[in-house]
Chain A
Amino acid sequence: MKQRRREHAGVPNATRGVWGGLTLSVTVAALAFAWWKGALLSPFDLRSPGHAVLLALRGLLLASVVIAARGHRRATWIALAMGALFFATLVLPGATLALCAVSLLLLWQLPAPRIQSPRITLAGLLSGVSALALCLIGLHALRPPAWTHPEFPSAQASAAKSARAWLAADNLHRARWAALAWARQEGADPGEAYLFLAEVDLQLGHRDKARRVLEKVRDRSSSEELRLRAAQQLGGLE
């Protein structure tokens, strides 16, 4: 009798307690996060924040219950019900709560999994170490370069900042558009904006436009340094 009280379906109560606590904590944390992001009762849309966490939670609970139900006399019905509930959570906002409640109830009734670590063999050890090394090398070599996630300027950014940001993002047309706005701000005294505009025009292949802009700076700028730079660049164009 005492042995039976310390166990459920051959699994020690302590193990069940750990699993139960873990599952409950993860579920509550995920639901709280989703509620905070406004995803808990809204229609499924993975582009919204919070829904990705909810989807992962659904998968976790579904897998946990189906794995735990193995060998149970009603395993078929449990799997069917959980699968149907999983789909229902995708079409009915709020059904996720029902899925969580049913899953937790079932996991409490079903025997908790006893994770037995695999026997450690030489082959396993070697492949495990190699896998880890490959993963670390891979993570380093395969990290996305910075240019794949450029920083776009905000709508409130100044024309100068926008122009530089778009050039860094390699969008020459937007950089030129922002440079034109920047140049208009400089007014009758052509300066840095014009030089920037000429550089972008050159990169776009508009040599004539670039030449005209540089000539304006060389002829009209109040800064001698800028006039020299413009003259040098004009020399490079010819």
Chain B
Amino acid sequence: MIARLGLVRRALLGALLLVILSLVHGNMDLLSDSFWYIAAGRSVLDTGHFPAVDPFSFTAMRTPWVVHMPGSVVLFAWLDRHLGILSILRVCVLVETAALGVLWLSSSRSTAGRVALFPLIAFTVYLQRDDLCARGQVFGDLLFALLLIIAARFRDGRPVRWWIAPLLGVAWVNLHSSFLLGVLVPVIGAVGQVFDPREKRHSMVGPWVFAMLLALGTLVNPYGTALVRDVLTLASHPTTQQQTLFVSPDFWRTDTMVTFALGVAALVGCVRSRESKGHGGRVLLLVALLCAAASGLRYLPLLCYVSISLLGPTMDDVLAEAIARLRRRAGDSAYVGPRTASIAAIVGVVLVAGFAVRTLRTPKDPYAQVPIEAARFVREHRLDNVVNDYHWGGFLLYVWQGAPKVFIDGRSHLYYNGVFQDALDLAAARPGYEEKLELYEVRTALLEAGSPLAVVLEQRDGWTRVFEDRLAVVLRRPDTEGSSSGGPARGR
């Protein structure tokens, strides 16, 4: 009977894991960022080396191009070339599911605790629904989840193998630019312990050594210190502060409030926790993430991750107490027998698994969120000097491969020369946009349908709409070569 119960528990957890997979699959898409990875990676696979300067944009700086996340770009290009573009989406779905699964299963030890934490995992997916994209961030999430397991081991006073740190550093710097977290999290945990009495501290040497070894590991990449320097510069640059992901969230949104509530609940869990050591480190880490989440949208999911990781043990304790109290009060007569519980669990597993499988079988269109037809139109008609929206630049450079070149894209570290701000001003059609179009010698515009710049250009003399579909419009100055006669071409 006990063995059967164990099987049912495993089946239930497996079914819930399948639900996580289906939630991630339903919310993840190939967005523009995914495509510049492929474009950059193709260049590496074709030439055998990383490109020295950017070949895709006509406004980018001509300084040496340091390709961020070099491992991810090569992997994406390889998958696209050998297994097709959808394979990238599938791999990223699996990696993100693994990240959430690792976080979920490691945070809590009991089945009841895991079932109770499951809605929080589902909420984490919901929180990222607008931004969940097949890109290097999925690897960053997985490595962050692993880092939290290591941080928990430090808090528990358990040993951590020294070679894990440099390996983690090597993997992280090559897969995603969030590797700085690998250095900061152990350091914050160690510093926080200063505020604990000596008898309530674990060794402070371990986390420091771990952080140092991880930092050394980050130097193992195709560019050495140049990549680390580039990423650190980008993290603190004024252009980054203007990107949507790094702007403060809307605090009146429900999902933002729930995320902060989760952080506060984790804080309360810390003070209630029976763990006698490492209190200061946990509190300091949570407060740092609360402040980070207030400063940028990007950090809300990280706050969720850490909150779930810290709430897990508290959940275990609270549920264990509650179940024991229920059993004492109810006595044997009202106790739900194992057979009934097993049947209920099996029914639940079947229903949940059925829902998950149904969602997973929904086909995905890799180009659903990008203007594929408009991009092909521009390429086939050899239109040039194109101004485009920032969030489509990555996809356009993937389609055009440098002919024509894009105006701007998501690699903002190539646009410190004022182009980033000009792109924002153009997109919003702010006063002076006409002069900017002249000075960049723009003759074509590929823009999101209904965007401010698209609307004003359509009303201006000298601009004609030559293509439109449900996502994008292409506008052209008609007194130049390559203009079409008659009405605009229409995509699907």
> How far is B195's CA from A82's CA once the two chains are assembled, in angstroms?
19
The smallest C-beta distance from B264 to any residue of chain A, in angstroms, reads 3
Residue A185 at the chain B interface, CB threshold 8 Å: no
Residue B181 at the chain A interface, CB threshold 8 Å: no
> How far is B236's CA from A208's CA once the two chains are assembled, in angstroms?
41
The smallest C-beta distance from B154 to any residue of chain A, in angstroms, reads 14
Name the A residues within 8 Å of B264 (CB-CB).
79-80, 83-84, 86-87
Residue B38 at the chain A interface, CB threshold 8 Å: no
The smallest C-beta distance from A123 to any residue of chain B, in angstroms, reads 5
* Inter-subunit contact B212/A127 (CB<8 Å): yes
> How far is B248's CA from A75's CA once the two chains are assembled, in angstroms?
30
Name the A residues within 8 Å of B194 (CB-CB).
115, 118
A146-184 residues with Cβ-Cβ distance < 8 A to B are 147-150, 152, 166, 169-171, 173-174, 176-177
Q: Give the interface size bracket for B toward A.
A: 35 or more
Name the A residues within 8 Å of B241 (CB-CB).
46-47
* Inter-subunit contact B287/A170 (CB<8 Å): no
Which 4 interchain pairs have the tightest Cβ spacing? A83-B264, A177-B439, A144-B233, A171-B417
Name the B residues within 8 Å of A119 (CB-CB).
198
The smallest C-beta distance from B143 to any residue of chain A, in angstroms, reads 21
* Inter-subunit contact B268/A113 (CB<8 Å): no
Residue A14 at the chain B interface, CB threshold 8 Å: no
Name the A residues within 8 Å of B271 (CB-CB).
66, 69-70, 75-76, 78-79
* Inter-subunit contact A174/B418 (CB<8 Å): yes
Specify which of A91, A128, A174 is in contact with B439 (CB 8 Å cutoff).
A174
Question: Which stretch from B202-210, B363-371, B456-464, B466-474 is at the chain A interface?
Answer: B202-210
* Inter-subunit contact A142/B212 (CB<8 Å): no
Question: Which stretch from B57-65, B396-404, B447-455 is at the chain A interface?
Answer: B57-65
Residue A227 at the chain B interface, CB threshold 8 Å: no
* Inter-subunit contact B195/A123 (CB<8 Å): no
Question: Which stretch from A29-37, A52-60, A98-106 is at the chain B interface?
Answer: A52-60
* Inter-subunit contact A170/B272 (CB<8 Å): no
Known: A67-B280, A144-B229, A150-B416. A131 touches B208 (CB 8 A): yes
* Inter-subunit contact B279/A70 (CB<8 Å): yes
Name the A residues within 8 Å of B326 (CB-CB).
none
Known: A47-B241, A141-B229. A114 touches B197 (CB 8 A): yes
> How far is B209's CA from A76's CA once the two chains are assembled, in angstroms?
34
Considering the complex, give the chain A residue whose CB is closest to the CB of B211: A131
Specify which of B197, B290, B413 lies most central, judged by the most chain A CB atoms within 10 Å of its CB.
B290
Number of A-B contacts (CB under 8 A): 146
Per-residue interface assignment for chain B, residues 272 to 289, with 1 indicating a CB less than 8 Å from any chain A CB and 0 otherwise = 100000011001100110
Specify which of A127, A141, A148, A170 is in contact with B209 (CB 8 Å cutoff).
A127
Name the A residues within 8 Å of B247 (CB-CB).
47
Name the A residues within 8 Å of B267 (CB-CB).
66, 79, 82-83
Residue A25 at the chain B interface, CB threshold 8 Å: no
Interface positions of B (Cβ within 8 A of A): 59, 61-63, 192, 194-195, 197-198, 201, 204-205, 208-209, 212, 215-216, 225, 228-229, 232-233, 236-237, 241-242, 247-248, 251-252, 257, 260-261, 263-264, 267-268, 270-272, 279-280, 283-284, 287-288, 290-291, 294-295, 413, 416-419, 438-441
The smallest C-beta distance from A84 to any residue of chain B, in angstroms, reads 7
The smallest C-beta distance from B267 to any residue of chain A, in angstroms, reads 5
Known: A119-B198, A169-B417. A63 touches B294 (CB 8 A): no
Name the A residues within 8 Å of B440 (CB-CB).
173
* Inter-subunit contact B263/A83 (CB<8 Å): yes
Name the A residues within 8 Å of B290 (CB-CB).
59, 62, 83, 86
Considering the complex, give the chain A residue whose CB is closest to the CB of B263: A83
Considering the complex, give the chain A residue whose CB is closest to the CB of B257: A87
> How far is B205's CA from A123's CA once the two chains are assembled, in angstroms?
7
Could you name 5 residue pairs across A and B whose Cβ atoms are closer than 8 Å?
A67-B195, A67-B283, A84-B264, A130-B212, A173-B439
Specify which of A76, A90, A127, A173 is in contact with B268 (CB 8 Å cutoff).
A76
> How far is B413's CA from A49's CA once the two chains are assembled, in angstroms?
24
* Inter-subunit contact B212/A131 (CB<8 Å): yes
* Inter-subunit contact B416/A127 (CB<8 Å): no
Considering the complex, give the chain A residue whose CB is closest to the CB of B280: A67
Residue A124 at the chain B interface, CB threshold 8 Å: yes
The smallest C-beta distance from A44 to any residue of chain B, in angstroms, reads 6
Known: A58-B291, A76-B271, A170-B62. A118 touches B198 (CB 8 A): yes
Name the A residues within 8 Å of B284 (CB-CB).
63, 67
> How far is B198's CA from A123's CA once the two chains are assembled, in angstroms?
17
> How far is B236's CA from A44's CA once the two chains are assembled, in angstroms?
20
* Inter-subunit contact B270/A142 (CB<8 Å): no
Name the A residues within 8 Å of B204 (CB-CB).
118, 124
The smallest C-beta distance from A112 to any residue of chain B, in angstroms, reads 10
Residue A121 at the chain B interface, CB threshold 8 Å: yes
Specify which of A79, A116, A121, A169 is in contact with B418 (CB 8 Å cutoff).
A169
Specify which of A78, A115, A141 is in contact with B195 (CB 8 Å cutoff).
A115
* Inter-subunit contact A66/B225 (CB<8 Å): no
The smallest C-beta distance from B187 to any residue of chain A, in angstroms, reads 9
* Inter-subunit contact B212/A134 (CB<8 Å): yes
The smallest C-beta distance from B411 to any residue of chain A, in angstroms, reads 14
Name the A residues within 8 Å of B441 (CB-CB).
173
The smallest C-beta distance from A116 to any residue of chain B, in angstroms, reads 5
* Inter-subunit contact B270/A144 (CB<8 Å): no
> How far is B56's CA from A3's CA once the two chains are assembled, in angstroms?
75
The smallest C-beta distance from A26 to any residue of chain B, in angstroms, reads 15
The smallest C-beta distance from A71 to any residue of chain B, in angstroms, reads 9
The smallest C-beta distance from B482 to any residue of chain A, in angstroms, reads 19
Specify which of A75, A78, A119, A170 lies most central, judged by the most chain B CB atoms within 10 Å of its CB.
A170
Residue A138 at the chain B interface, CB threshold 8 Å: yes
The smallest C-beta distance from A184 to any residue of chain B, in angstroms, reads 14
